[in-house]
Amino acid sequence: MTTPQMTLLVTVTGRDRPGVTSRLFSVLARHELSVLDVEQVVIRGRLVLGVLLACCDAPDLTAIHRQVTEVAADLGLEAEITAGSAEPALRRGSLHVTVLGSMLAPAAIAGIAGRIAANGANIDRISRLAHQPVTCIEFDISGADPATLRAALATESAERGVDVAVQRGGLHRRAMRLVVMDVDSTLVSGEAIDLLAARAGCAAKVAELTAATMRGELDFAAALRERVALLAGLDASVIDEVRAELRLAPGARTLIRTLRRLGYRCGIVSGGFTQFTDPLAADLGLDYAAANTLEVEGGKLTGQVTGTIIDRAGKATALRDFAARAGVPLSQTVAVGDGANDLDMIAAAGLGIAFNAKPAVRDAADTSLSVPYLDAILYLLGISSDDVADADDDT
């Protein structure tokens, strides 16, 4: 029968200062120890450093304790050492639980942590990814069934008014390499066709059809043709006017700039029109774009679209096409949208994100965001605000 290996947990706390880690490990290097795990957190200059070590058969615990205590005291810190038997295997975070909100109240964190515990899971690590303009806290957890935990946290999310995402841990998330977004009401605020309709004098009818389509109540292709038909005779010059009115969603440039600097490919796919998406793609430096095209003859809109309709199925086809061109498997793609015509694309992607979406989309997506900042998507990919700053500094 094998004797369980002894472990030591060394915890150092106090005011942070340079050299703590190097001096502590220099002391530990004098003994026959192996490092099993290390965690360090600094909050407002306050350090908590934990080191889990495996010991030899007969460690000199008295010497280890004395030497660690002495170096900690010399640094103005406190040290605690506890001994125990090693677990058969280290429990590492197999899931990431990301909690995000404009304001995170203690009650929200308590509720999330309580649901995690109730599902028999362990919190291995807690870290902050961002604090402005939203606060994002991430839990690395182990021992939970993702589907069951996701359902429990969805309830807590609704009750607390925060966004909660549950994703597989490890390298899965960092492997994402292609992000594809819807355009109207996602990348840009509002719907371009509604702005065109306002100039054609049919705003109310088109807005009604648009809203019903985004809720999934109407067939997208048929509704698109019906809406575009109402624009027949409109002077094509209004396209430039509407293009000038479109505003990117807050955080859109930061999102795309950061993703591109970190090596991601980016694309847009829209049930709207190439007359708007092509200039957007050029302005933002996007890799891929797909949309419908308004037919123009004699300087006026004919009330028809040309080519294959980019509808719900067409968006998923575009995602697959972009992935093939990028050499990226679908499991490493992210799709972002808000309406029912985004559902197939969101289902096909490795990670589907509902951004300020209709209820049917929120229910179907892997996760959802209700904050108005598009760059909050970065946090779901494990990219912190510090990573964003570092990416900007590298240019």
Residues carrying an active site annotation: 182, 184
- Contact present, 333 and 178 (Cβ < 8 Å): yes
Q: Give the number of other CB atoms < 10 A from CB of residue 120.
A: 11
Q: How far apart are CA 135 and CA 158, in angstroms?
A: 17
Q: How far apart are CA 331 and CA 350, in angstroms?
A: 4
292 - beta bridge partners?
A: 273
Name 392's Cβ contacts closer than 8 Å, sequence gap at least 6: 257, 258, 261
- As given in the structure block, the two tokens for residue 207 are 């807005």
Farthest CA pair distance, the chain? 91
Q: How far apart are CA 247 and CA 275, in angstroms?
A: 15
Q: How far apart are CA 314 and CA 317, in angstroms?
A: 5
Give the strand order in the sheet containing 46-55: 33-43, 46-55, 6-15, 78-85
Q: How far apart are CA 261 and CA 137, in angstroms?
A: 24
